[in-house]
Structures are given as C-alpha cells and as structure tokens.
Chain A
Amino acid sequence: MKILGIESSCDETAAAVVEDGERVLSSVVASQMSMHGKYGGVVPELASREHLRAIVPVVREALERSATRLPDLAAIAVTMGPGLVGSLLVGLTYAKSLSLASGVPMIGVNHIEGHIHAVILEARRAGAPVEFPALALVASGGHTHLFEVRENYVYRLLGKTRDDAAGEAFDKVGKLLGFGYPGGPVIDRLAPHGNPLAVRFTFAKMKGNALDFSFSGLKTAVLRWVETHDLEAETAVRRAFLRDNPAPTVEQWLSVTPQRTLDLVASFQHAVIHELLTRAAASAELIDARSLIVSGGVACNSGLRTAAYASRLPYPVHFPSFGLSTDNAVMIAAAAFPKLARGEFSGLDVGAQANLTLA
C-alpha cells in the first residue's frame, strides 16, 4: 500500500511516496531539487507564492521517481497544520484536487506528528522499532515540544518553549556573531573547537510547568556577553567575509574566529544541549519511557546526538537520518499509515489550521 505525502507548512515544498509505512520510494524537497536550476537552494521557499510555483513539479517528480500512478495510491496525506495558513493552503488545496480527481481518499496530518513518525519509520526499517511509551523531543526553528507517545499514537504534551524555539536560539546567536542566518549549522561545526565550559550560562528555574523550555534568556545572555567583550570588530570581519564567500568551510571560519569566541560558541551549544536533554530525560522518567525520540531540524546537531548517546540513558535513543530531520514529506506519509488502518480520512471540507495542536 502506497501513500503520497505532501508538505508545505513553512519554507519547504515537499512530496514523497512511502510504501507500507516503512519503504521510502521517493522523497522530493523543492529547495534541494535541481530541475531547471530554478530551485537551486538560493531562493528561500517562502510563503504561498513559492509553494505555488513548486507544488505541481514536486508532486509530479515524487510520483515519477517512485513509478507510481495516482490510482495506485491508498491515500494522499497532507499537512493541515500548524504553519502559515497561506503556505498550508497550497499543499492542502492541491491534495484535495488530486483526491477529488482520482477518487483516492485524503488524510490530514499534523506536521509535528510527522516529525515523530519520521523516527518511528526509520527505527522500524532498521529492525529496532520504537517501544512505547516513548518520550518525543521535537526541536526545530519553530518548535520545541516534549510529548508522551503511547501505543496507538496517543499523545500528551508534557512541555514546550515559552518563548524562542531551540533552533531559533542557534540561528539568532549565529547571526549575532556574524556567521549569517540561519547560523545553527555553523555553530555546530565550530563548537568542537571551543571549550564548552568556558562561559557558564545559567537557566532561570521555570515557574509553573517545570518541563517547559525558555531559550530567550540564554540568547540575551549571549548578547550581553558579546556587548561586554568587544566582539564588534571580529564580527564585522566575519560579516564581510561571508559577503565574499557565501559558503565558508570550517577552516575558513576558524581563520576569522578567535579562540575566545569559539569558547563562547561551544559554551552556548553546550547550554542548549544540556537544557534539551535534561528536560527530555526528566520527562522520560516521569512517564517511565521505554525509548526516547529526538526529531526536528535541531536533531541534525551533532553535539546533541553525541551527548544523547553518551549520557547512558536507560532506554534506546532514536534520531532520524539527516534528510528526515528537517521538513520533508516522507514523515507526513508515514504518519498517515496508522490513520489509514483506522479509516481516519479527512473530508474535502477540512481547512488549514495555523495553530493546530497535537495534544
């Protein structure tokens, strides 16, 4: 049984065909596509207009690469929220049209549930299925959530960010230091070159729900540190460097970044990782979790992966492959399989929901 997945909730237009909830037959993400050189990754796939341009070729390519015709599909899965309404509508409206024209039923999927299912799919394929109850940490540029995931995919929200998302903190600190935006990946590559204990960042104790996150204070603390340590000149050098070299290597970044700043970068990354893993582990303990799922763009962070594996948690830790960490449509198709089995189809009157919650 094949499901076509369609995702357009934020920056990426994506489509994928997945078979039986575990075999990925095709996965296309517009910003990574080279067709016509038009989507070379230079233009950010932004808002509805960009999705509108990409949706038809991306879906067509996903079907072609998997040698799938519409009547072969058991369902068409599409992200219905959360996200930007204008962007969601492009994918949702196209999915409805395909469904109406082909008679293939449609299944609306929550984007965050998709991130969780990216991991469940890969774990199953690797022969080490996720055991339940699982604790899921979904961390990206837009989300930072902790969910309990029970058998049959029943979710309970345990904690979330009260201000900035974890990925957002990475990206903003990166930009602040002149590494461009988004700066998360650069920080991850430079962090191993600094001392993670050089600058001690502390987190205020959470009032209310102790499992909630807050990354705004850390961002502000980095800003204060930068202001009081005369980093303006070197930051200006890096900004100028980036203008001349759009994609610097680690060695190039190291040549324009003093050790003290590398120590700051390492300390910042250490603080974020520590915060994510401490609350995830506390949540996992609370629900007697039998596995930990980490997903979303921040799951690409190699420091987070290393720390999670090194912390000797009493249950297996599952990360998605890099391609399925960031937004994609495989995860949307994957999340639709249990719904297909339960006959949970969406009517053509279903709307995009900007604030859709999972639990």
Chain B
Amino acid sequence: MRWRNVPKYRTASEEETIALGERLAGELPRRGVVLLIGNLGAGKTTLAKGIAHGRGAAGHDEVSSPTFTLIHEYGARVYHIDLYRLDEARQVATLGLDELFDRDALVMIEWGERFPELMPRERTEIYLRACGDDEREIEVREVKNASRR
C-alpha cells in the first residue's frame, strides 16, 4: 500500500468538522470512493454532512445517518452509505455497490473498511478519532493499491 500526502486536521467542534468537510469537498476527486473510518461518535456522519454540502449536493439538514436505510443519495453526484448493521459480505454484495462505484459520483462509505474485498483498491481513506468531548483528529490518506484482505 502506498500513501500520498497525509494531511492531518484537528477540529474543536461539530461546526468545525462540518466546515472541514466543506473544504475537503473541493480537494477530493470528482468521482471515487471515500471510506470514513472511525468509532461510533467519531464524527463520520458530521464530516459527510460537510462534504455533501461542499459539493453542492445537499443542505446540512438533508444529510443524516444512513445506518438503517443503508444508502442515501444526495442528487446524482454524491452517495452516502453505511454498512454498520451488515455483518456478512454476502449481505453487502446485494446492495450493488459496484454499480455505484462506476458512476460519475463521489461515494462516501461508513464502516466500509470491514469489507475490504468489496472496496475499490484505489480510494481515499479518512480516519476520524475523538480526542475529548468535542475535539476530533482527522487524517486523509490517498490509497493507490489497497490490499483486498
């Protein structure tokens, strides 16, 4: 696995995490897959809110957690997926993610790292970590040739 530029950010509030997402929206590729990686409450959905808004795809209040619904579509160019409640690759396979990956769209995925064999080898990984009640550490990695295991 090869990493390119590893920018690290710190945010001190939910608002700052959303603002960071809006900024990242301009730097992320036009189409491609972004894995949002972090524990419960790390800020994955909050960052997705900023990114979707930054892409002009959705207002802040249109972006909520897709845990139950699995896939949220924001316009035709931004997808927000959450695989939290799925346990088996077989279940994930029924969602038809490959078809979404082929679209001219940005596809953000929460809990996607649990199914590496189903994720594209070229992708962006954003790591989120809570360090205190409101502070978050956020790291962006471009992954060129990810292992499928």
Contact = CB atoms under 8 A, between A and B. Distances in A.
Given A46-B94, A47-B94, A223 B39 contact: yes
B-side binding surface: helix, strand, loop or mixed? loop
A122 interface: no
A216 B45 contact: yes
Given A163-B46, A354-B73, A142 B68 contact: yes
B16 to A, nearest CB: 14
A161 B64 contact: yes
Interface stretch (A165-173, A249-257, A274-282): A165-173
A163 B61 contact: no
A140 B67 CA distance: 12
A164 interface: yes
B67 A141 contact: yes
Interface residues of A, number: 38
A144 B74 CA distance: 19
A192 B107 CA distance: 42
Interface residues of B, number: 26
A69 interface: no
A312 B41 CA distance: 35
B40 A223 contact: yes
B30 interface: no
Contacts of A224: 41, 133
B70 interface: yes
B13 to A, nearest CB: 11
B7 interface: no
A162 interface: yes
Contacts of A49: 94
B69 A84 contact: yes
A270 B39 CA distance: 24
Contacts of B40: 172, 176, 219-220, 223
B144 interface: no
A85 B133 CA distance: 37
Nearest to A354: B73
Interface in A90-145: 140-142
B85 interface: yes
Instruction: Please name the 3 residue pairs, one residue from A and one from B, whose CB atoms are nearest each other, closest first.
Output: A220-B41, A141-B68, A142-B68
Given A48-B96, A354-B71, 12 more contacts: A10-B69, A47-B94, A47-B95, A50-B94, A83-B69, A142-B69, A168-B65, A171-B67, A172-B40, A219-B41, A220-B41, A224-B41
Interface of B: 39-41, 45-46, 60-61, 64-65, 67-74, 84-86, 91, 94-96, 130, 133
Interface of A: 10, 44, 46-50, 82-86, 140-142, 160-165, 167-168, 171-172, 176, 181-182, 208-209, 212, 216, 219-220, 223-224, 354-355
11 contacts: A48-B96, A49-B94, A84-B95, A162-B60, A163-B46, A164-B64, A171-B85, A209-B61, A216-B65, A219-B40, A220-B41
